[in-house]
């Protein structure tokens, strides 16, 4: 399942950085994870923030930090904020300040901990002028958020496998406290995925498909249930998304 989303940045980060030791995105040829305000079950991961909105105000960032919009096409590792925020460990206590900044719309947010190389970029647009700073060949006439459908997923089976997988992980590492915390996190993530599935609009399906894919990737990363879900994800990649 591939999804088209946007990453917002500015001219300093794009090509003329204030710090010569940190070349711009265009020179590096990749968007690199940098935000470290999120902790997962396994580790503290730097993140890249993405959006399904063409309006930079929805990011909650200052206008000077969102002068350029980069459209990207990703096939894995993308998690809707509605699902990921429960990994913060303190629920809405830490998420809330981010969600109420400016004119932000957290429903439009996604994160990934995976570097996005230039081969996954579609175009970079300077928003004040509409000038295209970079584009892949051939260039699409219009870039909008989209996603391929994901194959049929029984959310109850997925939840059961995830719980069993985390239990096995915690038992192996003798970490009952981590298991207790992750059980609560998983409940919130499954509920968020169910809520996202209620929106049958095209944009709602982008969010729902991304949530299901992210939970399947979680299961595929757990040794106790990896074979089944890795096979499911692999079949999707090899055969294309089922109708």
pLDDT tens-digit readout, 53-89: 999 999 988 999 999 999 999 989 999 999 988 876 5
pLDDT above 90 coverage of the chain, percent: 49
**Does the structure show a pLDDT above 70 at 115?**
yes
Q: What is the mean pLDDT of residues 5-10?
A: 96
**Does the structure show a pLDDT above 50 at 238?**
no
- Per-residue pLDDT at 15: 81
Coil/strand/helix, residue 139: coil
Residue 50: φ, ψ to 5°: -130, 170
45 backbone φψ class: left, alpha, beta (φ>0; ψ -120 to 50) = beta
Label residue 21 by pLDDT band (50, 70, 90).
low
**Does the structure show a pLDDT above 70 at 22?**
no
Tens-digit pLDDT profile for residues 128-171: 999 999 998 776 667 889 998 888 899 999 999 999 998 988 88
Residue 3 in contact with residue 74, Cβ under 8 Å? yes
Residue 188 in contact with residue 75, Cβ under 8 Å? no
Q: Is the peptide bond before 138 cis (omega within 30 degrees of 0)?
A: yes
Go through the chain and tell me how many residues it has: 243
**Does the structure show a pLDDT above 90 at 123?**
yes
Better-scored residue on pLDDT, 182 or 238? 182
- Per-residue pLDDT at 42: 41
Residue 26 in contact with residue 134, Cβ under 8 Å? yes
**Does the structure show a pLDDT above 60 at 194?**
yes
pLDDT above 70 coverage of the chain, percent: 84
- Per-residue pLDDT at 94: 63
Place of tokens 């260039």: 139
Cβ neighbors of 38 (< 8 A, separation 6 or more) are 44, 45, 47, 84, 87, 88, 111
């Amino acid at each position: 399942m591939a999804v088209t989303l946007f990453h917002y940045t500015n001219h300093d980060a794009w090509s003329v950085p204030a710090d010569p030791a940190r070349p711009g995105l265009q020179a590096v040829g990749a968007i690199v994870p940098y935000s470290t305000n999120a902790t997962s079950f396994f580790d503290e991961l730097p993140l890249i923030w993405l959006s399904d909105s063409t309006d930079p105000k929805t990011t909650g960032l200052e206008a000077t930090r969102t002068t350029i919009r980069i459209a990207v096409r990703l096939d894995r590792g993308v998690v809707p904020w509605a699902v990921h925020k429960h990994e913060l460990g303190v629920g809405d206590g830490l998420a809330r300040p981010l969600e109420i900044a400016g004119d932000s719309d957290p429903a439009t947010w996604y994160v990934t901990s995976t570097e996005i190389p230039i081969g996954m970029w579609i175009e970079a647009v300077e928003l004040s002028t509409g000038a295209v700073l970079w584009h892949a060949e051939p260039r699409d006439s219009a870039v909008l958020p989209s996603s391929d459908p994901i194959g049929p997923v029984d959310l109850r089976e997925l939840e059961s496998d995830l719980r069993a997988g985390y239990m096995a992980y915690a038992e192996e590492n003798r970490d009952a406290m981590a298991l207790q915390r992750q059980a609560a996190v998983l409940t919130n993530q499954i509920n968020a995925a169910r809520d996202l599935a209620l929106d049958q609009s095209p944009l709602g399906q982008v969010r729902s498909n991304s949530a299901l894919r992210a939970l399947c990737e979680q299961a595929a990363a757990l040794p106790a249930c990896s074979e089944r879900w890795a096979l499911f994800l692999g079949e999707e990649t090899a055969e294309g998304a089922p109708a």
